[in-house]
Amino acid sequence: MEIDNWLTNIQDWLLPRLCPACNDWAGPGRMLCQGCERSLPRLGNACPRCATPYDHDNIWGSCGACQRHPPAFVRTIALCRYAPPADHFIRALKFHRQLGLARLLGEQLAVRLQTEPRLPDLILPIPLHAARLRGRGFNQALEIARPVARALRIPIAMHDLRRVRATRPQSDLPFEVRRKNVKGAFAVHHAAALKGRRIALVDDVMTTGNTAEAAARAVLAAGAREVEAWVVARA
């Protein structure tokens, strides 16, 4: 650990890191300056099941939608709301190949998760379809999941969950057709690896929760004990 800190200090001296939000010096060992880190739109009081933000701090328990139609995942943990500068980071990662932001977002999410009293047995990044993966060149969910898995010391399974049907980007669709768009889109490749285990699905953004719902149903059908969703941002 002391050697790692020493190497980090040398790197910061030779190549000072600039904050991706404001382009100012981030500071020793930091990827985000303190001011911009404080400005992240942290998710406050929200539905524990789907992380829909509440307008008031005195609201507790699941939202009405989750009470009427409980999702397949038991809870959602989101680092922040999908608002500046988090939305800028996610778009820059996905569409401008700024892969360093995946580490930043993953490490911030890991810090949020370190306070949880119980962690799952396995992390599954939400996969891209093979055609979209070839076009983009990387899966942003996997790149975010790597530092989370490393920090929390939880195994990450990169190939056990697959997107077997090409779907349109959820952001391009009206809310009412998003569930149909991802229905049956996921399948489990190694069911034995998931049987009886608690699973965390990792993604960049949750909007309606339909992608997490479809993936969770596939994982539960393969024998997982329970599923929760971890996302950087909740829209």
Query: Percent of the chain beyond pLDDT 90?
Result: 71
- Pair (93, 4) in one structural domain: no
Alpha-carbon distance of 104 to 20, in angstroms, equals 10
pLDDT at residue 16 in the model: 65
- Pair (28, 121) in one structural domain: no
- Pair (59, 72) in one structural domain: yes
- Pair (177, 210) in one structural domain: yes
- Pair (50, 14) in one structural domain: no
pLDDT at residue 26 in the model: 83
Residue 231 has pLDDT above 60, yes or no: yes
- Name which of 234, 235, 229 is nearest 113 in CA terms: 229
Range of the domain at 154: 41-234
Helix (H, G, I), strand (E, B) or coil at 206: strand
- Pair (50, 124) in one structural domain: yes
- Pair (10, 71) in one structural domain: no
pLDDT band at residue 181 under the 50/70/90 scheme: confident
Span 210-222, pLDDT tens digits: 999 999 999 999 9
pLDDT at residue 1 in the model: 44
Q: Span 61-80, mean pLDDT? A: 97
Q: Report the CATH number that the domain containing residue 58 is assigned in CATH.
A: 3.40.50.2020
- Pair (69, 22) in one structural domain: no
- Pair (17, 105) in one structural domain: no
Task: Calculate the dihedral angle through the C-alpha atoms of 157, 75, 215, 209, rounding to the nearest 10 degrees.
Answer: -130
Q: Span 111-123, mean pLDDT? A: 95
- Pair (57, 30) in one structural domain: no
Residue 9 has pLDDT above 60, yes or no: no
Alpha-carbon distance of 223 to 104, in angstroms, equals 33
- Name which of 64, 50, 54, 46 is nearest 213 in CA terms: 50
Q: Span 158-172, mean pLDDT? A: 85
- Pair (117, 156) in one structural domain: yes
pTM of the model: 0.88
- Pair (134, 24) in one structural domain: no
Q: Span 183-206, mean pLDDT? A: 95
Give the chain's domain count. Answer: 2
